[in-house]
Structure 1
Amino acid sequence: MGRPPENRRQAMIKLMWIGIWLLYLASPVSDLADGGHSLAAAVPAAFGLIVFVAGYLVLAFFRTNNPGPPQPWVYALLVALASLALALSALLGKNWLVLFVYVGVACGAALPGKDSRWAVPLSAALLAATGAVVDPHGTLYPSLLVPALLGGFAMIGVQQLVRTMRELRSARDTVAQLAATEERLRLARDLHDLLGHSLSLITLKSELAGRMLPDRPRDAAQQVADIESVSRQALVDVREAVSGYRRPTMAAEVASARSALAAAGVSARLHVPDRIEGLTPAGEGALAWALREAATNVIRHSGATTCVVALETGGGSATLTVSDDGRGPDDSCPPGNGLTGLGERLILAGGSLKTSRAGDGGFTLTATVPLAAAPVGAKQPPNGE
């Protein structure tokens, strides 16, 4: 429902469902077959009935499930059907009044809601007016008024159902596209942050190993072993990121940042508590990504000699601050992919990202995530800490 036929089989099935309701035309057909009319009247009447049925099938087949506004030919065909029903009923008698029921159904199926709401009652009123003339004793036409109204308004309801189903399908497709886009963004962020940090560390240790050879082969061998370890861990991280299970922890990223900064010759001062009450896994993961990105930028871009990392709580949130004494931000360049992706991560965790120039001219990155509310009745730590 809600979709036009896509092949001949579906078209035939739809035509069969529409054709079932043509059984109610037995009354005018039997009136022709009984021989109560002259040949001069029966032949035009039969031709008119065939034209009426053809016009009705065209409207029911091509306008049902058609989301676009009706074209002028639709209104012209409806007027033609109503005119045929009026002419045949007036000339041949009350057995032909059933045609007005099909006119009401066609109005409900072919017209938009704002038009069909008055077109269906109008067809029923035309039925009543014609019936009052050709069936003055009211033996037939009163019983046709209810089917004419119910059939027309039922088709209005079907059309509304079709529109709703079409909108739901469109919304489902949109949600699927958004989910795919979000997954691509997640992979892009994870791979950028993972490979950027790991490759920077591998490059740094490779340079150290090269400077240590051939005078310090033992130290160079240690650097090569570190390169192998970092490469293996990077491979594991990439596999976890692709699988959707990658969520770094603060403890692991603090240890990694300390090792990477030391290898780069940057003096690191890290003030990060082992545990923070109320820090959710999503919030911890976002802060861990922030620490990884900040440490990578210090190593690759800052030229700093000192880096200070602090994680503090207050005001219902946890704030990670990473500051260095390097060359500071370049105001003429827009933020790179790493900071852009990091900002998206923090927004998804309900937090925010801010970057600025440090007091000594370096670069400061501040990442904030909300803390979960403490359960009612939970004991508060001493001194309000």
Structure 2
Amino acid sequence: MNATTEHSTGLAALHRLTWWTLVGCLIGVVAIIAFEPPTPAAKSVVFAVLLPVCAVAGRLFAVAVLGTPPPPTAVTVVAAIGAAGILLYSGAVGYGGFPWALPLAVLLAAVHAGARWPAVVVWPSGVAIAFGASLAGSWSIGPAAVSDALTDAGITALCAVSLYAQVWMATVAERLDQARTTAVTGERQRFAAELHDIQGHNLQVIALKSELAERLAGTDPAQAVALMRDVQELARQALGDTRALVRGYRAVSLDTEIANSARVLDAAGIESSISPAGERPSLSPAVTNLLGLVVRECTTNVLRHSTARRCEISLSSEAGTAVLRFVNDAPLEGPAGPTGGLATLRDRLESAGGSLRSTGTADSFTVTACLPLAAAR
């Protein structure tokens, strides 16, 4: 199984896991609330409203996770009215709060995930509906009723965000996979184009000179030998060019790694800034290789070990030293100093006369890599 197949299989498994987790949550909501009403008649009415609400929520979740068509807008609106009615009923009979806010919460998360409505409309509207339904159910606008309504609205928002997070993680994984696929495809096309440019001309000339040498072998042996020597020289040159191309392909390019980092971070919803945006300091291949590896490792750490929303990558030349800084916000708690891949890179930079250090605060995490501009090639 190749890497592309493994990634596709893993992504499909994540989508299946997300879908069945959401289905389990919807079933749980039905099971919890269906037995809450105090009388059989009330149970029947609540169940009759609750089941369609959860069915619409499931269909909306399927849009985001499985790619199915969305339900009509009118169906979603009716389901929202039904979910608000359940919360209103709970306030009228003196219950309210959890778990009565769950139907509206799951529908709010599902609408944000599956309907193509702007988030600035969905979330404020959902919270306002929860507040209004709870307040209307209390038949009062006193401080206690308002406090209960605010609590119900908060429960609705919190549960909705928690449920939507599952869809969001699957969406981010899909975007990262698409970005990786795009990057791999682009690199393969670049390599194929360069290989064609290098070998196409050489092989054509080799073929022509070989044919000519064959024709001259009987009439002008000396010229045929000279042509074959040219063929040998061209073959050696083609072999050297191919080796150089492979070495360049395997080496890490700082500019490529910075561009890949920005593309992957943007795909994950993380804003990235690069400075300087234009021409960067001239660096030796050894320096660009090591700093490119630092950018790659920092990007991986941001995606795996932070909840970052913004990253800054800067490269400068200070007193004969190339300085790379990689800064991200919202780091997770962890051990001080470089660990894992960064610890290995720190050793490599120190052996080249440079350094690598990391500093973290509650709001940011900074990796600073320094290498002499005259580092060994």
Q: What TM-score comes out, normalization by structure 2 length?
A: 0.48
Task: State which structure, 1 or 2, has the greater radius of gyration over its C-alpha atoms.
Answer: 1
Instruction: Give the TM-score normalised by the residue count of structure 1.
Output: 0.48
